[in-house]
């Protein structure tokens, strides 16, 4: 899989997100522009839900869920502020995670998500969300 640039990562995350939802009985709807906070909409049994995709190639497998930029590089938004239903994540080892946004919001003030395939140690007090329970495969 091509996973060198941010564009490569974005394409791979979106493609595998569409593949996972499509392979699991959802109808996938892709918008014609990219000005909305979701990457695509899925529908199953008459229920429509929005999905945001994130991919990371970082060593620590962290996905940043805040948006930074502008002249001072400050944080200007987070996906937690938008009516999203799922966060689909892809890590550098091609592990996929489907995280309900309700669970992410319940975790509190989360700035990034550490994608882990194993449950955290009972001594890991800094883990806000156990991503291992959201691990999925095609």
Q: What span, in angstroms and rounded, lies between the C-alpha atoms of 79 and 112?
A: 11
Q: What are phi and psi of 19, to 5 degrees?
A: -60, -45
pLDDT at 85: 97
Q: What is the CATH number of the domain that holds 74?
A: 3.40.1350.10
pLDDT at 124: 61
Q: What are phi and psi of 57, to 5 degrees?
A: -115, 10
pLDDT at 3: 85
Q: Is residue 114 part of a domain?
A: yes
pLDDT at 107: 87
Which tens digits make up the pLDDT trace of 74-102? 656 788 888 999 999 999 999 999 999 99
Task: Of 12-16, 24-28, 110-114, give the lowest mean pLDDT range.
Answer: 110-114
Taking the CA of residue 50 as centre, how many other CA atoms within 13 Å lie in the half-sphere pointing to its CB?
Answer: 14
Q: What span, in angstroms and rounded, lies between the C-alpha atoms of 18 and 41?
A: 10
Q: Is residue 54 part of a domain?
A: yes
Q: Is residue 14 part of a domain?
A: yes
Q: What span, in angstroms and rounded, lies between the C-alpha atoms of 88 and 46?
A: 21
Residues 1-15 have a mean pLDDT of 89
Q: Is residue 104 part of a domain?
A: yes
pLDDT above 80 (res 15): yes
Taking the CA of residue 56 as centre, how many other CA atoms within 13 Å lie in the half-sphere pointing to its CB?
Answer: 19
Q: Is residue 1 part of a domain?
A: no
Which tens digits make up the pLDDT trace of 30-71? 999 888 889 999 999 999 999 999 999 998 899 988 765 556
Structural domain containing residue 40? 6-136
User: Domains in the chain: how many in total?
Assistant: 1
pLDDT at 79: 86
């Amino acid at each position: 899989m091509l996973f060198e640039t941010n564009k490569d990562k974005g394409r791979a995350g979106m493609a595998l997100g569409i593949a996972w939802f499509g392979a699991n009985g959802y109808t996938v709807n892709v918008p014609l522009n990219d000005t909305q906070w979701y990457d695509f909409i899925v529908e199953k049994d008459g229920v429509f839900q929005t999905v945001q995709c994130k991919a990371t190639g970082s060593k620590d497998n962290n996905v940043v869920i805040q948006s930074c930029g502008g002249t001072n590089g400050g944080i200007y938004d987070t996906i937690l502020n938008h009516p999203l239903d799922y966060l689909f994540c892809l890590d550098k080892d091609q592990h996929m995670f489907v995280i309900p946004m309700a669970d992410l919001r319940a975790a509190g003030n989360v700035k990034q998500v550490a994608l882990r395939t194993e449950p955290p140690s009972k001594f890991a007090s800094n883990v806000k969300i156990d991503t291992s329970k959201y691990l999925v495969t095609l």
